[in-house]
Each structure stands twice: as structure tokens, then as C-alpha cells.
Structure 1
């Protein structure tokens, strides 16, 4: 069971790195947000492919941390 969870964590970590790497960047940097009066927290909703990537990232990271907690519980 340990080896299955460790392999799952490895796959999830590589997959989450790839999903995070392909997400589009925001055009507005921090200095523009403060100086131009733009919206600092970006309340604009993500749409389309970007929204799917955000959901996939969240699910992948939740599964990763759940596997980590199960491994900690099993080793104790």
C-alpha cells in the first residue's frame, strides 16, 4: 500500500507541475496594479481552458495532500 501511494504521489506531483507550467500568465505585474488603479485581486472570472486548468490543479493538489496525510497516518 505504501508503494502504491508513493507512486501515486509521484505521478500527481509531476502532473501538477505540468498543469501549473502551462497555465497562462497574467499581464499585469504588481507595480502596475498599485500605480494604475487596476484591480489588485483580479475578480475577473477565469473562462474556458484557463478555468479547466485551475480546477485540474486544485483537484490534483488536494489528492496529493490527501495521499500525504494517509501516508503519515500509516507510518504512525
Structure 2
């Protein structure tokens, strides 16, 4: 019983940290609107679009996905417990 309470406390702390991290990360991200250049369809062929995953913005997007997964898994486990 003691281990279960400790597990719940640790999971709750992870849940709260992940929720604050998601808020901060989403606020740090740039807007996705491409304006008139998005209508031509050429924006996907640019050097920037092809190498975006190596940039800071790409790393922030990847970190957002990982943090959101941690948030959802911890919320699911907390809901089951």
C-alpha cells in the first residue's frame, strides 16, 4: 500500500511537470500559417522545409510530441489507479 501511494505521488508530479512543459513549449512554437506562399505548394520543396527536423523548431516539435505522450500516458495511468 505504501508503494502504491508513492507511485501515485511520483506519477502526479510527472503529470504536473508535463502539463506545464506542454504549455510553455506550445507558447514557444512559431505560427504555422504560411500566408500566400502556402498556396503555391512550393514551400515543401525549400531547403528550410526539408531540413526543418534538424533546426530548433524541429527539435521543439519533437519535444512537444514526447511531452504530450508522457502527459497522456500518465493521465491514463492516474485515471486507472
Aligned to 1:13: 19
CA RMSD of aligned residues (A): 2.3
Aligned residues between the structures: 69
Give me the TM-score of the superposition, normalised by structure 1: 0.71
Residue 4 of structure 1 deviates from its aligned partner by 1.4
Task: Write the distance in 2 (CA, Å) between the matches of 1:37 and 1:56.
Answer: 30
SS at match of 2:23: helix
Give me the TM-score of the superposition, normalised by structure 2: 0.67
Moved >3 Å (runs of 4+) = 36-39, 42-45
Report which of the two structures shows the higher radius of gyration computed on alpha carbons: 2
Residue 49 of structure 1 deviates from its aligned partner by 0.4
Between structures 1 and 2, the one with greater helix share: 2
Task: Write the distance in 2 (CA, Å) between the matches of 1:54 and 1:67.
Answer: 20
**Corresponding position: 1:3 with 2:9:** yes
